[in-house]
Structure 1
Amino acid sequence: MEIEIYDRTAEKVSDEHQKLIQDLLNFAGKKLDLADNTEISVTLMNNPEIRELNSQYRHVDRATDVLSFAAEESDDETPIIMDPELAAEFPVNLGDLFISVDKVAEQAKFLGHSFERELGFLTIHGFLHLNGYDHEQPEEEKKMFSLQREILDQYGLKR
């Protein structure tokens, strides 16, 4: 998977934590059987920046932990029809994740687990949203949260 990580935090996120994100997304991509040329970006930021995005796009004026913006959300676009072999050569852009490292630290402390576990949880939660999973309805929630737990446990980030 092609993963771009942008660190817009004041303190700068460690190379080890950025590698965790990279490795975990690759692991999850294999679990979901995504093509090797699948693309995703992850932007790490602080609470003021994510609050701004949350306010602008969700009309909620407070910081949040993770925001997911899928690249292909709209159903009203006319699909481009091409030969399957040619189509396989084009990368699939899942979209963009924005994660507040301030919220990662706050929530890890509140929940009594590691920063790494919370960072992994938010990364996978947002990643699953980009892959069409949701938790609006009880059945959807059960399916998404079960897969989320399975990926994190298999990767080694158990609660």
Structure 2
Amino acid sequence: MNFEIDILDETNEVTTEQLQLTEEIISEAAKMEGLTGPTEISITFVDDKRIQEINRDYRGKDTPTDVISFALNEAGEEEVQIIDPEGPNVLGDIIISIPRTIEQAQHYEHSFERELGFLLVHGFLHLLGYDHLTGEEEKIMFSRQEEILNAYGLKR
């Protein structure tokens, strides 16, 4: 599989090892989800101020959050889907707040890497169409997250 992961660290706080973990866990998730062919994804690490701006501007919620995903290959009711059948499958963008990742890792009493992996996989699954709006959807999505994290070795 030809899988391109573009990573931007706007915080300058993510270590080389954590960037490597980011690539590896997303690649593992893509493999486990059966993605084939050329695929692209963008991951951006930001601070709370920036993710709050994004959350406010795009979701109407003026508060910081931990992760936001923007799927580029799903058309909404008013959107026109433009896909080049010869081009890569551009999944979309995952944006993660590094301060939230640190805070939640401490709250849940696990490593920063475990929390980062959780947020990466969570955002990635949203790009693939998983959701957690209902109890049943949540059960499916969260169990898949755990399967991927466990397969990678990021157990609770």
The TM-score range, normalised by the shorter chain, is: over 0.9
Counterpart residue type for residue 22 of structure 2: I
Over the residues paired in the alignment, what is the CA RMSD in angstroms?
Answer: 1.7
State the secondary structure of the residue aligned to 1:12: coil
Q: Specify the code of the residue in structure 1 equivalent to 2:116.
A: L
Return the TM-score normalized by structure 1. 0.90
Are the structure 2 counterparts of residues 48 and 79 from structure 1 closer, same or farther at C-alpha, using a change threshold of 3 Å?
A: closer
Does 1:17 find its partner at 2:18? Answer: yes
Q: Percent identity?
A: 51
Match of 2:55 in 1: 54
Please, which runs of 5 or more residues in structure 1 have no aligned partner? none
Number of equivalences:
153
Q: Please say which structure displays the higher CA radius of gyration.
A: 1
Structure 1 match to 2:45: 44
Distance in structure 1 (CA, Å) of the matches to 2:65 and 2:39: 26
Deviation at 1:35, TM superposition (A): 1.8
Q: 1:126 to 1:61 in 2, by over 3 A?
A: same
Instruction: Determine the structure 2 residue equivalent to 1:31.
Output: 32
d(CA) in 2 for partners of 1:72, 1:112: 36
**How far does residue 75 in structure 1 lie from its aligned partner after superposition?**
4.1
1:148 aligns with 2:150: no
Q: Given the two structures, how large is their TM-score scaled by the length of structure 2?
A: 0.92
Residue type of the alignment partner of 1:31: M
1:137 is displaced (CA, Å) by 1.1
What does 1:1-159 align with in structure 2 at a 5 Å threshold? 1-9=3-11, 11-76=12-77, 87=85, 89-159=86-156
- In the alignment, the residues of structure 1 paired with residue 82 and residue 74 of structure 2 have an alpha-carbon distance, to the nearest angstrom, of 15
1:74, distance to aligned residue in structure 2 (A): 1.6
C-alpha distance in structure 2 between counterparts of 1:29 and 1:134, whole Å = 17
Query: How many Å apart are 1:80 and its aligned residue?
Result: 6.8
CA displacement, residues 1-22 of structure 1 (integer Å, 9 cap, x when unaligned): 110000101x431111011010
Structure 2: where are the runs of 5+ without partners? Answer: none
Deviations 1:36-76 (A, max 9, x none): 41100000011110011011111111110000000023245
Q: Give the conservation status (yes or no) of the 8 Å contact 1:2–1:38.
A: yes
